[in-house]
Structure 1
């Protein structure tokens, strides 16, 4: 499986390199900037591939694709509702010792952001709303077995090609399988990105989470490069990058990981 993962990652990296001679225009740059904004008024469907290793005493590994549709809804002249869904499809081996292989769906995280259509004071773009944890995992080792809910919010500013901001949420479990651990988790994603005139975007972020039940941090640091291209006149974004686990829970992933992706774009 590792060989297949490397081939898939190299293929996406090669695709990004091969289209580097395709010049972007103002529309492509505008799309790239919108992609850097988690609550932009843009329908997009990212397929984000991740690979991590170093789990537990058996050096387990995990590959998963996050399917992350973003759908904006206009509520009135002043407000949008932005739906952001994360559905993981995972394949993992020996995650907690010699536990064998698992493959299937993970738990869905569903977020809803109420966001003003126009930036606020100082050009700040923001949104707040609820987040939900839905126990859709097809294997007990791929999910929590719990229903959860809590608040989520995002704030950012875009200027001169730069996007700087943070997305955060906290989810508590309120129902689900009684023999599974409760969920109380804080997620924080500070991010900074720069988009060039020809629609290249360079992004640095962390996707840190703190498990209040286990008193443990997970802190992966991600660096990615994205490019807007056109396939049969349809705009898409190709992404390739790496991540480093600065901190992980006991038995969690270690060292370097890989991230790659394809985002389908549906501009108005």
Structure 2
């Protein structure tokens, strides 16, 4: 009897675990695992490149590279009786080239950014909604003539109550969830892929590929639909400038669709202009313009305008970038935020590319 009870308990526990592991949970776990793998790849590539760069130094004084900007590398352990060689300090030109390359969405720099956004005056109660986008970018060299760039965007959202308590009472809403309660969770995770052929760094640089969005959200933090589409980027980098545009279009593939939630059909266009003053400082404009094609005309577009200032320097032997920005929505749907304040912090690693 005791053995049967144990077996029955184990079976019930297994059924409970199986029910808990819903499709959405499996997708969340899988994508979070992919993020960890990408972080491991970034760290591994950075370590390998640093070791190669250090071991490739000649015994005489190293000559700075004129084609690829190099970040500072750690010293290599020397054998007994050998004298440690001084590290090659990057020149001002190399540092400025590396900073410009980090502003290229498909550049030869692996990036781990943490983008914090405070969206103010959202909803009928004009509340502030915070979200953080964790969006690692990793370039992989397919061949000497082409690269594959993977970008994963994971939004962490803290949705505060969008309605006042008296409004919720008047509407007969008693649940403590949005729009009358708070919720913290993960939004729709996106995977963006770019095929980037070898180009002249002083000419037109471009990349194109598929993108996907996953129903990794809780009930109120995004759409329950699985989407896919195309992304493309084009830019030029003359002198102190880095300017171009990143465009994505995604459509509905699978998932629930009803009158309350239209099928996914969304365009995002992000023109970007960076001017580098030197010594790591830059002034930028990179508004994220959105169009929900299924919405009526006056609810379709969100068009922000603003400005951001940034600095790139080295801390703990790692290049890091910081940005502070403000954007106001000059065109927006009803109840959309009036604008946002953004603070972005990113860790940078140089990665060898095909050009």
TM-score, with length taken from structure 1: 0.85
1:25 to 2:92 alignment: yes
Q: Equivalent residues in 2 for 1:44-83 (5 A)?
A: 44-83=111-150
1:224 to 2:304 alignment: no
Aligned partner of residue 237 in structure 2, secondary structure: strand
1:144 to 2:223 alignment: yes
Residue in 1 that maps onto 2:203? 123
1:195 to 2:279 alignment: no
Q: Which runs of 4+ in 1 moved over 4 A?
A: none
Q: RMSD in angstroms over aligned alpha carbons?
A: 1.7
Q: Which runs of 5+ in 2 are unaligned?
A: 1-90, 165-178
Tell me: higher relative CO, structure 1 or 2? Use CA pairs within 8 A at least 6 residues apart: 1
Q: Which moved more, 1:51-60 or 1:143-152?
A: 51-60
Residues 93-135 of structure 1 show CA distances to partners (whole Å, capped at 9, x for unaligned) of 1246752111111111111000113238x71000000111111
C-alpha displacement of 1:160:
0.9
Residue in 2 that maps onto 1:12? none
C-alpha displacement of 1:155:
0.5
Q: Which runs of 5+ in 1 are unaligned?
A: 1-23
Distance 1:260 1:189 in 2: 17
C-alpha displacement of 1:178:
3.7
Aligned partner of residue 40 in structure 1, secondary structure: coil
Distance 2:281 2:197 in 1: 27
Structure 1's 231 and 54: CA in aligned 2 closer, same or farther, altered over 3 A?
Answer: same
Q: How many residues were matched structurally?
A: 242
C-alpha displacement of 1:177:
2.4
Residues 209-252 of structure 1 show CA distances to partners (whole Å, capped at 9, x for unaligned) of 11011131011224111111111111111111211111111111
C-alpha displacement of 1:192:
0.9
Which structure is larger by alpha-carbon Rg, 1 or 2? 2
Distance 2:163 2:237 in 1: 42
Distance 1:208 1:258 in 2: 16
Residue in 1 that maps onto 2:337? 253
- Contact kept, 8 Å, 1:60 with 1:92, in 2: the verdict is no
Residues 149-186 of structure 1 show CA distances to partners (whole Å, capped at 9, x for unaligned) of 11110000000110111110110011112444311001
- Of the three residues 187, 190, 194, the one matched with 1:113 is 194
- Of the three residues 324, 327, 333, the one matched with 1:243 is 327
Q: Which moved more, 1:172-181 or 1:126-135?
A: 172-181
Aligned partner of residue 26 in structure 1, secondary structure: helix
C-alpha displacement of 1:28:
2.7
Residue in 2 that maps onto 1:8? none
TM-score, with length taken from structure 2: 0.65
Aligned partner of residue 98 in structure 2, secondary structure: helix
Task: Looking at secondary structure, tell me which structure has more strand per residue.
Answer: 1
- Contact kept, 8 Å, 2:102 with 2:108, in 1: the verdict is no
